[in-house]
Amino acid sequence: MEKEIFNKILSLKSEVDDYIEQAEDILKIDIFDTKPVDNFYLLFDLVFKNEYTIEGFDWICWFVFEKRGRKEMKAYDNDVEILKNVEELYEYVEKNYKIKSKINK
């Protein structure tokens, strides 16, 4: 996957999350489990599962759903902190978890 597309998808996901939080704060209702939101996350899953192994998809999900910019959330590989930012996430999943049939396309 091209880096620009990867970054844009993560940026859009962040925008959707922010919109959901703002809408819920204003409307005082839970809109997270609505069809449009479900469809967006399904699309997110399909795009990344098409490019990366399940382990790579898990790292992406950890980064965007668990870490979400929190500095206290850290991941390590051989005692070295990894995945501190989107750039490192992209490089890590591209190098280690790209679906083999996608490597030479």
Per-residue pLDDT tens digits for 42-71: 999 999 999 999 999 999 999 998 988 788
55 touches 83 (CB < 8 A) = no
The predicted structure's pLDDT at residue 92: 96
The predicted structure's pLDDT at residue 102: 67
The predicted structure's pLDDT at residue 36: 83
The predicted structure's pLDDT at residue 27: 82
pLDDT, mean of each 10-residue run, the chain (105 residues)? 96 89 84 83 95 97 89 90 94 94 66
Q: Which helix (H) or strand (E) holds 47?
A: helix 35-51
